Amino acid sequence: MTVPIAIIGTGIAGLSAARALQAAGHAIHLFDKSHGSGGRMSSKRSDAGALDMGAQYFTARDRRFAATVQQWQADGHVAEWKPLLYNFHGAKLSPSPDEQVRWVGKPRMSAITRAMLGDMPVTFACRITEVSRGEEHWNLLDADGRSHGPFSQVIIAVPAPQATALLAAAPKLAGVVAGVKMEPTWAVALAFETPLNTPLEGCFVQDSPIDWLARNRSKPGRESTVDTWVLHATSAWSRQHLDMPKEQVIDQLHGAFAELMNCAMPAPAFTLAHRWLYARPSGAREIGALSDPDLGIYVCGDWCLSGRVEGAWLSGQEAARRLLEHLN
């Protein structure tokens, strides 16, 4: 019997590693504490249509990632988003066009990770709490006390603070991961029955509790009868208001939105708030992935590189590369 490789996390980093290992002929099994794949690239189904509450778009600067994105485009899972971009600075809203190519999942951000997952074996709603090594193999324990295994190797593809808890068997790696801090982001969605009277579709924001805002409905393939917007608070504001009740977060960010938009702002017909506790690493790193090949444990995620979708995908590739190199 082939003993599979366990991958904890079905965000883009875990799925990137999974695809590479599967392509090399290895059996894998994925685990995620959520009910679906995507992690910070997932979308929320709502009465106002699917909303991208996490990653908004992504850029592809690495050659290998760009080639993969082209394949996703050919398969119909991504499309280019060409928003009318603005910048808000010094209390002034001004158009801020550029030449950057920006990609989004189609018809929603989660389409990418869903396609990557395909029919790979996965256990959802399963929070792994312990990763331990027996004489030959690895075993995983979940929050309900169930044991999973045996596995020949383990890849941990979760945000750094969540990875630390799973690295008791590899204290050296745990020490490095514990040094990586991650910042929160409050995300709010608002939907208006009457479209806001503005051409703006995306905006980089300074000097406000808001950091970024987007007209969700302007992205390709989004079907919505209402005018949907997603607002992201800055890391600093999110940290300061980490435990604020959702209704108040919505009120405050709606207020900041009204202040910076130069148009009449009706009451929203629909609102939603989501708190990303580990949204982005504080600072960029160039560690690619972490590994202890003799032990058979690997760690990857966006925080190993740029803290972006591209960095997460590349980190997953790097974890798989190191694992395959050790086996060959």
Q: Does 71 bind ligand NAI (CB under 6 A)?
A: no
139 counts as binding ligand NAI under rule CB under 6 A: no
Distance between CA atoms of 97 and 40, rounded to whole angstroms? 26
Residue 142, amino acid = D
- 162: contact with ligand FAD by CB under 6 A: yes
- What's the min distance (Å) between Cβ of 197 and ligand FAD? 26
Residue 87 interacting entry, from ligand FAD, ligand NAI, none, C-beta within 5 to 8 Å by type: ligand NAI
In the DSSP assignment, the letter for residue 24 is T
Q: Which of 10, 42, 113, 185 binds ligand NAI (CB under 6 A)?
A: 185
Report what 96 binds from ligand NAI, ligand FAD, none; CB cut-off 5-8 Å by kind.
Answer: ligand NAI
Among 4, 10, 285, 291, interactor with ligand FAD by CB under 6 A: 10
Alpha carbons 302 and 313: distance in angstroms, whole number: 7
Instruction: With CA atoms as reference, report the closest residue to 311 among 37, 61, 110.
Output: 61
Q: Between 33 and 40, whose beta carbon lies closer to ligand NAI?
A: 40
Q: Which stretch binds ligand FAD (CB under 6 A): 7-15, 22-30, 189-197, 286-294?
A: 7-15
Position among 107, 276, 289, 297 found at the interface with ligand FAD (CB under 6 A):
276
- Applying CB under 6 A, does 33 fall inside the site for ligand FAD? yes
What's the rounded Cα separation, in Å, for the pair 261 and 312?
33
Count CB atoms within 10 A of the CB of residue 161: 15
Rounded to a whole number of angstroms, the minimum distance from the CB of residue 262 to ligand NAI is 17
Question: Judged by CB under 6 A, does residue 192 bind ligand NAI?
Answer: no
Q: Indicate left, alpha or beta for 171 from its phi (over 0: left) and psi (-120 to 50: alpha).
A: alpha
Pick the binder of ligand FAD from 7, 20, 30, 31 (CB under 6 A).
31
**Given 3-state DSSP classes, what are the helix, strand and coil percentages for the chain, each rounded to the nearest 5?**
30, 30, 45
3-state secondary structure of 279: strand
Q: Select 16 or 185, whichever has its Cβ closest to ligand NAI.
A: 185
Task: Determine, following the binding rule CB under 6 A, whether residue 279 of this chain makes contact with ligand NAI.
Answer: yes
CA dist 38 and 43 (Å) reads 8
Output the six-digit token pair for 259. 């202040």
CB of 232 to ligand FAD, least distance (A): 5
Q: CA-CA distance, 38 to 116, in Å (whole number)?
A: 10
Q: CA dist 170 to 131, 140, 292, Å?
A: 10, 14, 8
Tell me the closest approach of the beta carbon of residue 90 to ligand NAI, in angstroms: 13
**Going edge to edge, which strands form the sheet with 28-31?**
122-123, 28-31, 5-8, 154-156, 297-299, 290-292
Residue numbers 53-112 binding ligand FAD by CB under 6 A: 54-58
Q: Segment 126-155, which members bind ligand FAD (CB under 6 A)?
A: 127-128
Q: Choosing among ligand NAI, ligand FAD, none, which partner's interface includes residue 13 (Cβ < 5 to 8 Å by kind)? A: ligand FAD
Gyration radius of the chain over CA positions: 20
Residue number, nearest CB to ligand NAI: 279
Gap between the Cα atoms of 201 and 279, Å rounded: 22
- Interface residues with ligand FAD (CB under 6 A) are 8-14, 31-34, 39-41, 54-58, 127-128, 157-159, 162, 185, 187, 232, 276, 279, 301-302, 307-309, 312
- Interface residues with ligand NAI (CB under 6 A) are 58-59, 85, 87, 96, 98, 100, 185, 204, 211, 232, 279-280, 307-308
